[in-house]
Structure 1
Amino acid sequence: MLPAEYGGGGLSNVDFVIAAEEIQAVDPGFGTTVLVNGLGLMPVWYYGTEEQKKRFIGSATADESGEFLVGYAASEPPGTPGGTANFDAPAIDGAGMHVTARLDGDEYVINGRKYWPCNVGGWDNKGANLNLVVVRTGSESGGTAGLSAIMVERGTPGITYRSISTSAQRSAPNCEIVFEDARVPASNLIEGTKGNGDLVINRNFAWSGPVAGIGAVAVARSAYEDALRWAKTYTGGGPKPIIHYQYPGYVLGDVATKIEAARYFCWKSAHYLDQHGYHGEMLGAMCKVHCTEMLFDCVYKCMQVVGVNSVDKKQRFDRYLREAALLPLYDAGNFGMQRRRVHGVMVDEGFNPRAFMDDEPVDFTKDMEGIDTIPGPKTDEPTIPSPQTAEPFAVR
């Protein structure tokens, strides 16, 4: 996914999504590990200086061992205060990210904890080769300001990594990171992210939207193919395999239809990113939500076709079911981060509801962040136009 000029493969997003489906149909956890390499390095390409691009992206693409690993650390521990879903809330205290980076001479001193980041521990829990960490560099700023992204290199003192035991995608390593006065060179702060870490997060999850979406397609595809194979061989004591009966045939036909529709949505979203400078904050979120929530329904319908035998672990449906439960929750949860991004763009005065149909760019700005992050009534309620004064939507 990295640009050819810095030693990468230079694949388009469409190419990458097609390859990602094949990987994730076998092991979605490994697909996540590959994806997170991009989440850690793509912001360097977007926002870094030329020197930073050559130093960080170049070190990854020059590796010949096949072991170079990059992590992306945004998520923080749950609690009060804590968590990450409201990272763009306007409140200063009790909301958003709490890992701080204080400038001390020519170094940043990092303190705090991250929870859930993938790849960050590396292969041995002593740190990935590089970790992109979203930190609060402006302690007096709210969620939509004061965040930045800094590269932390393996071997940096003052950092510990602890594995999290997960119920799904166990081949994708998640960790808790503890920073205790960890010192990182100031030159590792990605230049264009200073005060724009919020935009880094939203742009990252726009790019990963169709990749997570195609992961859902891949898992649904595997469940569907297993259920179809079962239906074509299992008779249930009848004269013919159950595929010849109406219910299994109709249910599997519906599943196949949903898989195809979701696949094309991922291709559309990836192509949109290719066309619009890797910006697709709203469409990427829509794709991720739609495809991952399609997955659970597809997997369970396949299990209904197979019946109680789907509970037998040798049939693999337990794994598909765990993945189906996970995908809507990971990579920026569908509730909170993904749907809020869609809402934030949609409420903007200049939003064109036909933009994606017409392949037009949809800008994402700080003004679109933070919507609905503060509960309760607002003091500056917008004026609602009456039906008589509201401008009708033009037909063209």
Structure 2
Amino acid sequence: MAIDFTMSAEQRKIQKMARDFSEGVLAPVIPAADKEPDPMLAYQKTKSAYVAAYKAGIAMAMLPSAYGGGGLSCLDFVIAAEEICAVDPGFACTVLCNGLGLMPVSWYGSEEQKKRFIGAATSDPTGEYLSAWTAGEPPGGTGGTANFDSPLPPAGIGLTAVRDGDHYILNGRKKWSSSPGWDGFGTNTQCVIVRTNSKVGGTEGLSAMVVERGTPGITWQFLNKEGHRTTSNALVTFENARVPVDNLLPGAEGNGDFVINRNFAWSGPVAAIAAVGVARAAYEDALKFAKSNTAGSLTPIIRFQNVGYILGDVAAKIESARYFSWRAADYLDKHEQHAELLGAMCKINVTEAMFECVFKCMQVVGVNSLSTEHKFGKYLREASVLPIYDGGNMGMQRRRVHGVIAHPDFDPRAPMDDSFVKFEKSMESIGTVADYDKTAPRLMQAAE
């Protein structure tokens, strides 16, 4: 049988390297960073660990080796990511966002752009290089991201890019950009989703371009968050920011919607394995607690059926979640990093199951889980982030699954058979009010 869940010798080496880094380099800086009330200072407290990760090849491990990256497969990257996330998923998110910011260049960029942007990212002698993913927008009005695929103008993405000679002029705001940089003045590059055609709405007229640090007209503001405090997010304002036309990703012109969906599908198993890492850490701490505390009885509480059953169920769910993450990553590797269906399914299923596991571990530990001497408060905060970020489960992820399975040509056995599932524009706006308004008359007419 070809199916084998045994890691290769090289994969075990990758896992050990990531575990040694996480426990030896990363873990010592996390407590102070997580407790720091200033979000910018919290982020900066992880910088030494990031530089070490960069120099160890971790920070750019997902990028193509042809341009200086680590060239790790999606599966190998997921194996390494679990070890980092078990210590701190916020820091892991900083690393992941290098991929979210630069993988679109590898997919949709020209050869010159790949050499210029990915090459610079993988050859920084300081080890401080950061890239960002800038897609989401502030809520309110018709702007925002969750319903970016409503086809009615001016709904959806509101950041405009107007051609002016050999530049685009950008105006608008973005929220949840994955980093404002170490100093608050921007990352080295950011992949930005813009509306290059304002006459249409939703998925039409969107493009992706690389915006470089130092571009005039851009300001950044750190966001203060409850979870993932060791990574940074920003509110970004563009006021007549001039970006060279040469920075537009040619393969993404008019197809920025595909960039969004592909990026969030690519990161699906990474977000899932992040949840596995958090739940694993909570489970190991809860098991240790249960074996060493009596709660006033004559025996450690692990000897009681309820505790044993709960932790046994948690352990089983973690195992199954890990394998789903591996499976989705393997699917990405087999299908040119396309997994718009399976990546979303994995992210939804695993992140929600692992949140429940963390809460179950807290129930086992009881009220003591609230004490800051334990880490369960942090585990719960981190686990709560994972289902709602990265194209939130109740936003883009479930709609993508819905759109694919509702398509007339969808084969429900395709995932089981490891077959490629194509993602099309017609699958994007399903479930939106505009989609209903557009399709309902036709359905009623057909019924008559």
TM bin, normalised by shorter chain, reads over 0.9
Q: CA deviation at 1:295?
A: 1.7
Distance in 2 between the 1:366 and 1:16 partners? 29
* 2:233 alignment counterpart: 174
* 1:116 alignment counterpart: 176
Extract unaligned runs of 5+ from structure 1.
386-396
Q: CA deviation at 1:324?
A: 2.0
* 1:312 alignment counterpart: 371
1:230-249 equivalent positions in 2, closer than 5 A: 230-249=289-308
Distance in 2 between the 1:72 and 1:49 partners? 19
* 1:367 alignment counterpart: 426
Q: CA deviation at 1:81?
A: 2.2
Which AA in structure 2 matches 1:42? M
Distance in 1 between the 2:350 and 2:307 partners? 23
After superposition, give the CA deviation of every residue in 1:179-203 in whole Å (9 maximum; x if it has no partner). Answer: 0000011000011000000000000
Residue 121 (structure 2) pairs with residue 60 (structure 1): yes
1:126-275 equivalent positions in 2, closer than 5 A: 126-275=185-334
Q: Secondary structure at the match of 1:108?
A: strand
After superposition, give the CA deviation of every residue in 1:35-62 in whole Å (9 maximum; x if it has no partner). Answer: 1110010010001110011011111011
Q: CA deviation at 1:142?
A: 2.0
* 1:324 alignment counterpart: 383
Distance in 2 between the 1:81 and 1:370 partners? 15
TM-score normalised according to structure 2 size: 0.84
Distance in 2 between the 1:111 and 1:382 partners? 41
Q: Secondary structure at the match of 1:356?
A: helix
Q: CA deviation at 1:271?
A: 0.1
Which AA in structure 2 matches 1:379? P
**Distance of aligned partners of 1:382 and 1:28 in 2 relative to their CA distance in 1, 3 Å threshold:** farther
Identity of aligned residues (%): 61
Distance in 1 between the 2:445 and 2:232 partners? 49
Distance in 1 between the 2:102 and 2:234 partners? 19
Extract unaligned runs of 5+ from structure 2.
1-61
Residue 162 (structure 2) pairs with residue 90 (structure 1): no
Q: Among residues 106, 114, 118, which one is paired with 2:166 in the alignment? A: 106
Distance in 1 between the 2:167 and 2:99 partners? 26
Distance in 1 between the 2:139 and 2:202 partners? 17
Distance in 2 between the 1:383 and 1:368 partners? 22
1:6-21 equivalent positions in 2, closer than 5 A: 6-21=67-82
RMSD over aligned Cα atoms: 1.2
Which AA in structure 1 matches 2:355? F
* 2:443 alignment counterpart: 381
Q: Among residues 78, 93, 100, which one is paired with 1:32 in the alignment? A: 93
Q: CA deviation at 1:63?
A: 1.2
Q: Secondary structure at the match of 2:441?
A: coil
**Distance of aligned partners of 1:182 and 1:363 in 2 relative to their CA distance in 1, 3 Å threshold:** same
Which has more helix, going by share of residues? 2
* 1:389 alignment counterpart: none
Task: Say how many residue pairs are matched.
Answer: 383
* 1:300 alignment counterpart: 359
Q: Among residues 417, 428, 433, which one is paired with 1:358 in the alignment? A: 417
Residue 101 (structure 2) pairs with residue 50 (structure 1): no
Distance in 2 between the 1:41 and 1:83 partners? 22
Which contiguous aligned blocks of 4+ residues in structure 1 show a shift greater than 4 angstroms?
382-385
Q: CA deviation at 1:383?
A: 8.2
TM-score normalised according to structure 1 size: 0.95
Which AA in structure 1 matches 2:216? P
